[in-house]
């Protein structure tokens, strides 16, 4: 009886969180707010976790959502899009310069606030929270501060960016998509499911490099780019993945004592505002001289987590393959360059 209770409790908690996330997402749909399933679920899950810190989704849900989101992102790489990718090289140069610049500014910012050298470095870098915490632990940073800084960054980005993209689209033309896609046929389901399953199997071995998302994304991009399939995962599955991502994001601060973390959270909030402002200004300037729109460039530069930015890009429908490629490049850059910068910064 005790074993059954121990097994049913996590299932019940996960069910309650998902129900709250779905309800929150539906309310945001009714209110016609941007990225409703993610923002609504994030709001509902955040409220729930505030009053009941144990009511959070376990990591297995995020691990399950990432491969599906990767396959969704890969579906944007149609043959005609792949043919244009050779013209994107200037953005990669811009991204490297941007990442190096904001990292340098961020180190100075966090050092002035009393962060040690390694914690300042990994707090300044615009990588995913999991990757930055893993690297920070390896090189002697303060993990508690890193998690707080990157958590507030990701939540702020997920909250602000959809509204900013809606403003840019309204100003520069274009409309948010309705989200309807043609359902896959039998053979298409086999290809899409194959990308998910094979991507998970291979990606688990490369978890530290974002493999659970990058590998399914790559497989899906190959399948769509070669014309093997043109199908996309149905919108209701995409919406469910958005609810999972929103619910996990909203529960970041479950059990947090504000009195103990106020200074770090405020530093993280100020830093993400600086990052978003720099991203917006650079996107508007580069939008005048590059082929991509300011909205696409802003999405490419925005300092959100990989999975969150894929969800936002797909929901907005703004040059999805371009934005996804930029954030995949950012993930690889972070994993390769962070150890080198840490050693130059005086790793322990």
Query: pLDDT (tens digit, 9 = 90+) per residue, 256-311?
Result: 666 556 788 899 999 999 999 999 999 989 888 888 888 889 999 999 888 788 88
Does residue 147 carry a pLDDT above 80? no
The H-assigned helical ranges of the chain are 2-30, 36-51, 59-74, 79-82, 89-112, 117-124, 129-138, 143-172, 186-203, 211-225, 235-250, 258-286, 294-301, 306-316, 320-344
Percent of the chain with pLDDT strictly greater than 90: 21
pTM, rounded to two decimals: 0.77
The larger pLDDT score, comparing residue 184 to residue 14, is at 14
Q: What is the pLDDT of residue 256?
A: 61
Q: Tens of pLDDT along 224-254?
A: 888 888 887 888 888 888 888 888 877 766 6
In the chain, the N- to C-terminal Cα span, in Å, equals 50
User: Given pLDDT bands bounded at 50, 70 and 90, which one contains residue 180?
Assistant: very low
43 neighbors 252 (Cβ within 8 angstroms): no
250 neighbors 49 (Cβ within 8 angstroms): yes
- Residue 322 contacts by C-beta under 8 Å, 6 or more apart in sequence? 88, 91, 292, 296, 300
Q: What is the pLDDT of residue 183?
A: 63
The larger pLDDT score, comparing residue 144 to residue 270, is at 270
User: What length does the chain have?
Assistant: 348
Q: What count of other Cβ atoms lies within 10 Å of the Cβ of residue 139?
A: 20
Q: What is the pLDDT of residue 271?
A: 95
> Taken in order 112, 113, 116, 117, is the CA torsion positive or negative?
negative
Average pLDDT, the chain: 82
289 neighbors 48 (Cβ within 8 angstroms): no
């Amino acid at each position: 009886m005790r074993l059954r209770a121990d097994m049913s409790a996590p299932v019940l908690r996960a069910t309650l969180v998902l129900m709250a996330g779905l309800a929150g997402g539906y309310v945001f749909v009714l209110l016609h707010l941007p990225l409703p399933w993610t923002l609504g679920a994030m709001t509902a899950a955040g409220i729930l976790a505030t009053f009941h810190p144990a009511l959070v989704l376990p990591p297995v849900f995020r691990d399950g959502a990432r491969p599906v989101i990767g396959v969704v992102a890969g579906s944007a790489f149609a043959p005609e899009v792949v043919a244009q990718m050779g013209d994107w090289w200037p953005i990669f140069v811009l991204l490297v310069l941007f990442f190096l610049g904001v990292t340098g500014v961020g180190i100075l910012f966090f050092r002035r606030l009393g962060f040690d050298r390694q914690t300042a470095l990994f707090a300044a870098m615009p990588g995913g929270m999991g990757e930055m915490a893993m690297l920070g632990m390896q090189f002697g940073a303060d993990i508690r501060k890193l998690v707080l800084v990157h958590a507030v960054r990701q939540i702020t980005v997920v909250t602000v960016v959809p509204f900013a993209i809606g403003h840019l689209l309204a100003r520069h033309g274009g409309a948010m998509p309705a989200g309807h896609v043609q359902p896959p046929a039998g053979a298409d389901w086999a290809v899409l499911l194959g990308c998910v399953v094979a991507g998970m199997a291979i990606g688990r071995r490369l978890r530290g490099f974002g493999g659970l998302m990058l590998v399914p994304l790559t497989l899906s991009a190959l399948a769509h780019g070669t014309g093997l399939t043109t199908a996309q995962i149905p919108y209701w599955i995409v919406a469910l993945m958005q609810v999972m991502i929103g619910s996990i994001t909203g529960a970041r601060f479950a059990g947090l004592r504000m009195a103990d973390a106020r200074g770090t959270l405020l530093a993280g909030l100020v830093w993400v505002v600086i990052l978003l402002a720099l991203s917006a200004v650079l996107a508007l300037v580069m939008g005048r001289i590059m082929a991509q729109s300011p909205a696409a460039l802003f999405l490419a530069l925005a300092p959100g987590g990989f999975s969150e930015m894929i969800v936002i890009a797909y929901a907005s429908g703004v040059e999805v393959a371009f934005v996804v490629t930029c954030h995949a490049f950012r993930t690889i850059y972070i994993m390769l360059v962070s150890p080198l910068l840490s050693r130059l910064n005086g790793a322990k």
